Amino acid sequence: MPIYTPPLRDMQFVMHEVFQVADEFKALPKHADVDVDTINAVLEEAGKFASGVVFPLNISGDEEGCTLDKATHEVTPPQGFKEAYAQFVEGGWAALSCDPGYGGQGLPFVLNQCLYEMLNSANQAWTMYPGLSHGAYEALHAHGTEEQKRLYLPKLTSGEWTGTMCLTEAHCGTDLGLLRTKAEPVPGAPEGTYALTGNKIFISAGEHNMASNIVHLVLARLPDAPAGSKGISLFAVPKFKVNADGSLGERNPIYCGGLEHKMGIHGNATAQINIDGAIGTLVGQPHKGLAAMFVMMNAARLGVGNQSLGLTEVAYQNALAYAKDRIQMRSLSGTKDKSKPADPIIVHPDVRRMLLTAKAYAEGGRALATYCAILIDKELHHPDEKVRKDSAELVALLTPIVKAFLTDNGWTATTLCQQVFGGHGYIKEWGMEQFVRDARINMIYEGTNGIQALDLLGRKILGNNGASLKKFGKLVAALVQEEGVNEKMAEFINPLAGLADQMTKFTTELGFKGLQNPDEVGAAAVDYLRVAGHLVFGYFFARMAQVALREVAAAESQGKPADPFYQAKLQTARFYFAKLFPETAMLMRTARAGAASLMDTDAALA
The answer to whether 268 and 125 are in contact (CB under 8 A) is yes
List beta partners, residue 234. 219, 283
Q: Which residues contact 484 (CB under 8 A, 6 or more apart)?
A: 493, 497
The C-alpha atoms of residue 606 and residue 600 are separated, in whole angstroms, by 12
Distances (CA, A) of 472 to 390, 398, 510: 10, 9, 19
Q: Which amino acid is at 306?
A: N
List beta partners, residue 215. 163, 238
List beta partners, residue 251. 240
- 8-state DSSP, 193: E
The per-residue b/e assignment along 558-591, b for 16 or more CB within 10 angstroms, e otherwise, is eeeebeeebeebbebbbbbbeebbeebeebbeeb
Sign for the CA dihedral angle at 198, 202, 205, 207 comes to positive
Distances (CA, A) of 260 to 201, 211, 256, 304, 355: 9, 21, 11, 19, 34
Sign for the CA dihedral angle at 86, 88, 90, 95 comes to negative
Q: Are strands 213-220 and 161-166 parallel, antiparallel or unpaired?
A: parallel
Ramachandran category for residue 218: left, alpha or beta (phi over 0 → left; psi -120 to 50 → alpha): beta
Question: Cα-Cα-Cα-Cα dihedral of 398, 402, 408, 411, to 10°?
Answer: 170
The residues annotated with a catalytic role in the active site are 446
Question: Cα-Cα-Cα-Cα dihedral of 40, 41, 45, 50, to 10°?
Answer: -10
Q: Residue 216: name the closest of 271, 147, 286, 290 by CA.
A: 271
